[in-house]
Structure 1
C-alpha cells in the first residue's frame, strides 16, 4: 500500500519532472513511469504526406526537468533515421519552450556500432550522432549496453549515463546454472571486457565460480570467419553474451562451436533484440537452448510463436527508472553501472 509520504513525494516529482515516451517506445515508457509512480506526460505526433512530421508536448515544460524515452531501433513504427529525427526535433521543441534540462533516455542508441574507421574514407557515425544530440540542446544521454563504451563516452561532450545488464543477467545465470560449471563466452574479441565484467558480477552475486571464454571472429563483406576458441566448454552451462542480436548468426556460430566441444547447455544473452530478417531460424535452432533479451528494442518484429517458444524477455524499466530518479534528485550515479564496491 502506498503511504501518504510516498504519494506526496510522487506528486512533488510529477510537478517538477515530465517524462515523455515517443511512439514506438510507449510500452517501455509506461513501465518506467509506473515504476516511478508518476503519469506519462501527453504529447502529439502528426505525420504528413511526403514523410514530414510534427511533435509537440501537450503539457507545459517550462522550468521542468524533461526526460524523453525513445529507442532508436528500426521497426514498423519507423526506421532508425525516422526515430532519430523525431527524438531530436522533440528535444529541441522542449528546449525552445523553456525546459530547464532535457535528458534523452535512449535504450538502444542507433549507429553506436560505427565508432571508428575500418575502411578507407569510412564515416565515424557515432560521433556525428553525438553532434546532432548536442545541437538539439540535449543535456544528458542515458543508454543501455552500447557497442563500445569508450567510443560512446568519447563521442559526446554532453553528460552521458551508461547502464548495463550485469545485474539483470547475473541473477538469471545463477538460476539457470545452479551449482553446475558455468562458462561465460564472448562471441568475438571485442566482447571480452563485457563478458569479464558479467563474470565478476555473477561471482559476487552467487558466490559461485565462472570461467571465461571467447571465440575469434573477423567480419568482411558481411561474412564472419575465424575458428580460434579459447576456453573449456566440456560439460559446462555456457552463456554467450553480446550487446545485440540481429540476424543471430554470430550467436549461432558460437553456440555450435560450444556444442562441438561438449557443452551441456547453451544460452544466448543479448541486450538489444533487433531481430533482423532471417533470425527466426536461429532462435529456433537446437544448438541454442534459450535466447534471453531485454525489452530495449520492443515491440519485436518476429512471429508471436517464435517469441513465446524461443525467447525470454527481461524488463529493463527498473534500470531506467532508477537512473531517472537519481538524475532528477541529484543522487549519485556511481553504482548504476553495476559496480557496487
Structure 2
C-alpha cells in the first residue's frame, strides 16, 4: 500500500506513518493557461490511498484528484482509495430552482467514474441526503472528529473562553 498526496502532504505523511505505508508526493504543476500537469514519481502497482482535501480551491483540487485517480489506475493501481477530509459540493443536494445542478450527485458520479474504489471523508455536509451511500455506489466511510475536537476544547480552554457558532440551522445536528 502506498499513500499519495497532491496537496495535503502533512496529513498524508501522518496517515502513511500510522499505516506503516510508503508516502509519496504526486508532482503537480500548472501551465501558464492553468491546465494541470500531474506525474507519479513512484511506481503505482498496488493498493493506493490518495489524500486530497477539496477545502481550498475545490475546482483545482478536484481536477488533481480525478487526474490522480485515473492515472494511478492507468499505471497499474489495483485499488484506489480516496481520503478526502473536506468533501466539497455537498451543500447543493436539491434542485431549488429549475435548471440548477445538484452538485452533490454530480460529484458522486464524477468521483466514481474516475476509478475510485472507496471514499473516506470527515463530517460531510449532509441535510436532505442523510448518508453518502444514498448517492455513491462505492463503499463510503463518513468519519467524525467531533469528540476529538470537543476533548481538545475542554482540555485547552475554560468554558468562559469559547463559543460554538454554526453557519446555519443545520449546524445543530
TM-score range, shorter chain: 0.7 to 0.9
CA contact (8 A) 1:19 1:69 kept: yes
Cα distance, 1:174 vs. partner? 4.0
What residue is the counterpart of 1:81 in the other structure? 59
In 2, distance between residues paired with 1:19 and 1:35? Answer: 11
- What is residue 94 of structure 1 aligned with on the other side? 72
Report the counterpart of residue 114 of structure 1 in structure 2.
Answer: 92
- For CA contacts below 8 A with separation 6 or more, give which structure has more relative contact order: 2
DSSP-derived class of the 1:41 partner: strand
Q: How does 1:123-272 map to 2 (within 5 A)?
A: 123-148=101-126, 150=130, 152-175=132-155, 176=157, 188-193=168-173
* 1:120 Cα deviation from its structure 2 partner: 3.0
Long gaps (5+) in structure 2? none
Aligned-pair distance for 1:105? 0.7
Question: 1:45 touches 1:55 (CA, 8 Å); kept in 2?
Answer: yes
Q: Tell me if structure 2 keeps the 8 A contact 1:68–1:103.
A: yes
d(CA) in 1 for partners of 2:167, 2:84:
25
CA distance in 2, matches of 1:185, 1:136: 36
Q: Distance in 1 between matches of 2:55 and 2:150?
A: 25
Distance of aligned partners of 1:85 and 1:184 in 2 relative to their CA distance in 1, 3 Å threshold? closer
> Over the residues paired in the alignment, what is the CA RMSD in angstroms?
2.4
Distance 1:134 1:53 in 2: 21
Spell out, residue by residue over 1:4-42, the C-alpha distance to the aligned partner (whole angstroms, 9 max, x if none): xxxxxxxxxxxxx0100113x112222222333443124
Structure 1 or 2, whichever has the larger Rg, is: 1
Q: Secondary structure at the match of 2:2?
A: strand
Q: Is this contact kept in 2: 1:61–1:99, CA < 8 A?
A: yes
Match of 1:70 in 2: 52
- Structure 1 residue 47 and structure 2 residue 30: aligned? yes
2:2–2:21 Cα contact (<8 Å) kept: no
The CA distance in 1 between the partners of 2:93 and 2:131, in whole Å, is 6
Q: 1:20 touches 1:40 (CA, 8 Å); kept in 2?
A: yes
Residues of 2 paired with 1:186 and 1:81: CA distance?
25
Return the offset for 1:172.
2.8
Cα 1:51/1:159, change in 2 over 3 Å? same
Q: Name the counterpart of 1:28.
A: 11
- Count of residue correspondences: 168
* Cα drift, residue 151 of structure 1: 5.2
**Helix, strand or coil for the counterpart of 2:22?**
coil
